[in-house]
Structure 1
Amino acid sequence: MEILQAGAPGHAPADGLAGLLSPLAEPEFLRHRLGSEPVLIRGREGRFRGLFGWPQLNEALTAARTDASRIHLVRSADGVPLASCAEPVPQLSPRGRPARLRPDRLYETLGAGATLVIDGIEELHAPLRTLATALEGTLGSLVQANVYANLGGAAPGFHTHWDDHDVFILQAEGAKHWDVHPPTDDHPVGVLSTPAPPADGAATWSGELTDGDVLYLPRGWWHTVKALEGRPSLHLTLGTRLPSAGDLLRRLLAHLARHHGLVRQDLPRFATAEQAQDWYGRLREVLAEAVREPGLLERLAGQVDGGAPARPEFRLPHLPGGAPAAHPAGAP
């Protein structure tokens, strides 16, 4: 695994991928590293302090309600209910008693070895949203930021595993130990792949990510993450699912289904052997013609690689055209 020393003295969210990976040039990374091999960028301590750290996490927890779709706890790779750290919001109890976190209970649970996870934290914090949007502009795919926090000495939150998407890990505070193993299957994807776990001792890299470091892992690379005793840690993962050949084939299927009635037909399960043979022969011809059609796959690939969907942006009281909304006559 390539290990480099960060070249830039700091990092602004708008710098995006170039800022995260400096001194590795962005074109070099996109052509030769993306989707193929890990990269570790060693950065100076405090590099991400203005992006996200303990103060920003505390602010998010103070403002957030407990939402299982966003905030959860893991301990020893087994779920710990967030409800154990929550209490009803008194002033809102008539509306269904939404819950908020109780600091004392959260401290106790984290002190006992739990890890706090907040998914999609870029939706709650503007600098992270700026960084995610900049990455989306470069990679052309949706980016989600998750934060993982522990107070030191926590058991692994997850067993040795691989992700079905590429990740950029930003160690924002403290340190964690990582064991990184090469893929045991070529380009694994979601439920379609069941690669065997790596053999013991087969780590490509073992070491600590410390404050300011960035680690890039393509999908399929196995990893084990361990907290360090007495050393609280907060790290971010920026995950993105890059378009694959499977996405192209799904777009090809949709194209064929629109233009060929045969592709929409039921399988000839109860036909005679001769009728079924004829049907499958005609289907092969449709598929072969599509594959041979000049430019079709490239055109469909352009649709698959159409970029990340735009993030919602609100500018009230202005209307979409930019003009402020008109008030009804007599309104203040």
Structure 2
Amino acid sequence: MSTSPAPRDTDTPLALLGGLSIREFLRDYWQQKPLLIRGAFADFETPLEADELAGLACEDGIEARLVEENGPDKAWQVSHGPFDEATFARLDAKDDSQWSLLVQAVDHYVPDVAALFEPFTFLPRWRLDDIMISYAPTGGSVGPHLDNYDVFLLQAQGQRHWQLGGMHGDDAEIIDGIDLRILKHFEVTPGEDWVLEPGDMLYVPPRLAHHGVSQSDDCMTISVGFRAPSADEVVTSYADYLGASLPESLRYRDQGMAPVANAGELDDASLERVRELLLSTLDNPTQLAQWFGRYMTQPKYLEQLAAREPALKTHELVEYLEDEGVLVRSLGSRFAFRHGENGTSTLFVDGDGILAPQPLAEALASDQRLTAVLLDYTTADLDRSAVVSLLTALINRGSLILECDLQDEEDDEE
């Protein structure tokens, strides 16, 4: 039994991409140059209001920043949440208030925001990072800046004036002392200067200078960002993963070496032996895949994954699913898979790798509705009881949720 989705149509023009096909966008724009898309989302309505965003910024555990261009202490002051009502009252009392509120990972808390990821799944799901939402009154901005990742900037309400500059390398001059990459010097590229209305969207590739300024008192912008680990993060993480599994007996060897001319010299032959040791341990496609799947599914905010209490038992899960129950992926969870042999896959979920039947791994890592059909996704080596145990473990750790539990939580909040 297979759950593989039908092949995606990559050649049909899409309003989401300004009339380009997926193939054309990836070939000509992705990670290369910006794209303005008028009416990317027709008749767009914001998935949450400004006061709801401010409410999130006041909660513990939610990453929120307040950027003030003329702060109480200095220009370009950044404050970190949680905030309180007094903070927003102070801002409202200022006549020349130029500020922006930034709230990260809103998709982890608001299902309607999380749903905005779906139109972007022409890109790998494991590349999706989070959705940040910013709010600013007229004149508010975070300055001309750079990002190290791809981002789609969707105007949710109000208007924002965007100006683009050129690409910048590591030598870009950045204002010191704040955790934003605000440029000391910004020059607008002729013709790349627009005001975006609700439903309009701007794609910005990594390292492209951009500057957005609110043109209304209700400006809200949704930033759909993508994970892009740096080389130092990749090397460090992969080395740690390998180091935990390499045997102590695997060491530098120089059997059959030639006599040395100078006992104090690090000669070429010695360096080549070290190089071969490194390459032989690093160049392992199987280990690389196992590490990368775990690395790219690590949740951004671990506290979002709440263990289920009381723990669900396997027979309770079977009864629930056979009674037309549905499982739901936690908003903060990440799923991916890599197919192996004999009908099995590694299911990567929230930083772990778990052996699973191929159709089960595909289903969990998709947007497919999760029903009792999951119990039939078995192999000769992974029978129904193994599948039930796997799903129960994912529920008890918080990666999956019973839909009825989710409904109970929503009812309690109301």
TM-score category (smaller protein): 0.5 to 0.7
Q: 1:33 aligns with which of 29, 41, 45?
A: 29
- Give the whole-Å Cα distance in 2 for the aligned partners of 1:85 and 1:245: 35
What are the Cα deviations for residues 83-117 of structure 1, in whole angstroms up to 9, with x where unaligned?
A: 8973xxxxxxxxxxxxx567644533596222122
Q: How does 1:115-264 map to 2 (within 5 A)?
A: 115-132=100-117, 135=120, 138-139=123-124, 140-154=126-140, 156-158=141-143, 160-185=144-169, 193-195=170-172, 200-202=187-189, 205-228=192-215, 230=216, 232-242=218-228, 253=239, 257=243, 258=246, 260-262=250-252
Matched, 1:65 2:61: no
**SS of corresponding position for 1:182:** strand
Q: 2:99 aligns with which of 107, 114, 133?
A: 114
- Give the whole-Å Cα distance in 2 for the aligned partners of 1:52 and 1:146: 13
What is the letter of the counterpart of residue 77 of structure 2? Answer: G
Shift of 1:81: 4.5
Matched, 1:304 2:292: yes
Q: Does the CA contact (< 8 Å) of 2:43 and 2:199 recur in 1? A: yes
- Give the whole-Å Cα distance in 1 for the aligned partners of 2:88 and 2:186: 41
**SS of corresponding position for 1:274:** coil
Q: Does the CA contact (< 8 Å) of 2:40 and 2:199 recur in 1? A: yes
- Give the whole-Å Cα distance in 2 for the aligned partners of 1:44 and 1:80: 31
Q: Does the CA contact (< 8 Å) of 1:179 and 1:203 recur in 2? A: no
Q: Does the CA contact (< 8 Å) of 2:131 and 2:222 recur in 1? A: yes
What percent identity do the matched residue pairs reach? 22
What is the letter of the counterpart of residue 261 of structure 1? Answer: R
What are the Cα deviations for residues 69-94 of structure 1, in whole angstroms up to 9, with x where unaligned?
A: 522311116226578973xxxxxxxx
Q: Does the CA contact (< 8 Å) of 1:176 and 1:225 recur in 2? A: yes
- Give the whole-Å Cα distance in 2 for the aligned partners of 1:181 and 1:164: 15
- Give the whole-Å Cα distance in 1 for the aligned partners of 2:24 and 2:235: 28
- Give the whole-Å Cα distance in 2 for the aligned partners of 1:320 and 1:26: 44
- Give the whole-Å Cα distance in 1 for the aligned partners of 2:89 and 2:109: 23
Greater Cα shift, 239-248 or 162-171: 239-248
Unaligned runs of 5+ residues in structure 2 are 1-13, 70-74, 174-182, 254-261, 321-395, 397-414
Classify 1:302/1:175 alpha carbon distance in 2 versus 1 (closer, same or farther; 3 Å): farther
- Which structure carries more relative contact order (alpha carbon 8 Å, separation 6+)? 1
| Match in the other structure for 2:328 | none
| Match in the other structure for 1:91 | none
| Match in the other structure for 2:358 | none
Matched, 1:75 2:52: no
Classify 1:283/1:175 alpha carbon distance in 2 versus 1 (closer, same or farther; 3 Å): same
Classify 1:182/1:47 alpha carbon distance in 2 versus 1 (closer, same or farther; 3 Å): farther
Shift of 1:169: 0.5
Unaligned runs of 5+ residues in structure 1 are 1-17, 87-99, 186-192, 264-270, 326-332
Q: Does the CA contact (< 8 Å) of 1:132 and 1:143 recur in 2? A: no
Matched, 1:280 2:256: no
